[in-house]
Amino acid sequence: MDWGSAKTFLFRHKPALSWAAGGTAVGIALALAAYGIFNAVSPSLAAGRELGLTLTVSILVGLPLAIACGLLASKAALLRKQAQKSAQNDGLTSCLNEPTFSALVDTYSNRNSAPGSNPLGTILLINLDDLKVINSRFGFSWGNEALSSVAATIRNTVRNGDIVGRVSGDQFGVFLPGANEIDARGVAERIHDNVTKMQFYPAGTHYPMSIRAGAVIVSSRIGFDDLLRTAVGTLAKTQAPGHDWIEYQFLNTSHASGENDSRLQ
């Protein structure tokens, strides 16, 4: 076992090992206390035999009990972690659910920024096209498969630290902290390329995946609801004839003055 594997093993079983070490220490302490008592009561008995016997009995009893308690503690910690993940993630796509996604995005988009500084980030509102067609033609199980496959592709494409959530039935939100227009275009095009290259075969029939997106680049603080509303409007522009699969908008809001300065890139 190499050092990396050993570290992983120790981290995974840390509660059980802690209980085992603690139980062993307590067993030894009790054994020494018992030895002291026996030696005080009957000093003529063989001290070595008493000590060995008490240590052996204490370890044989205490160590298995401590390990069992440690395993139960590890299982309880795992169950708590799984419950927390279930509360934060969408059950079908494993993306963040809408409440968790909105709360995380709000921590970035609703903070103050210095004039002329880098953007707070960019949100991509991605719509999976033809989900209703897939559901009606092949069945809802294939529609769910399309959603989960597209979600996995998006999660595997974004950068470390980017936030991916499912915001509605056929829409995903991707927030890119600190991303300017160049960064956002790079991530968005990679997502589009990877989704359109997916091999999706409902009922043995090849069905190409198609997405549209609205991108909003945020330069000053804005609440999540207002940000999402702007992204929805930007996404709607992609349905107009002659428009690309994605529309970009630069959003500069001022809560102090109540003004909203938005312009298309």
Asked which of 24, 53, 86 is the last residue of a domain, the reply is 86
Packing angle of the helix pair 131-138, 140-157 (nearest 10 deg): 140
Shared domain check, 244 and 113: yes
Average pLDDT, rounded, for the chain: 79
Shared domain check, 214 and 104: yes
Beta pairing, strands 171-177 & 163-168? antiparallel
| pLDDT value for 57 | 61
Mean pLDDT of all residues in 192-208: 96
Does the structure show a pLDDT above 80 at 136?
yes
Shared domain check, 166 and 231: yes
Shared domain check, 220 and 124: yes
Asked which of 38, 62, 86 is the last residue of a domain, the reply is 86
Asked which of 54, 86, 118 is the last residue of a domain, the reply is 86
Q: Which domain holds residue 163?
A: 98-264
CA neighbours closer than 13 Å in the CB half-sphere of residue 185: 9
| Per-residue pLDDT band at 261 (split at 50, 70, 90) | very low
Shared domain check, 119 and 71: no
| pLDDT value for 111 | 82
One DSSP character per residue, 79-117 reads HHHHHHHHHHB-TTT-SBPHHHHHHHHHHHHTS---TT-
Specify the number of domains making up the chain. Answer: 2
Cβ atoms of residues 223 and 109 within 8 Å:
yes
Shared domain check, 205 and 102: yes
d(CA 198, CA 206): 10
Answer positive or negative: Cα dihedral of 141, 145, 151, 152: positive
Mean pLDDT of all residues in 116-131: 90
Chain segment 46-105, per-residue pLDDT in tens: 555 555 665 566 566 655 665 665 555 555 555 455 444 557 899 999 999 999 999 999
Shared domain check, 69 and 144: no
Does the structure show a pLDDT above 80 at 137?
yes
Shared domain check, 128 and 179: yes
The predicted model scores a pTM of: 0.67
Neighbouring CB atoms inside 10 A of 76's CB total: 11
Does the structure show a pLDDT above 60 at 259?
no
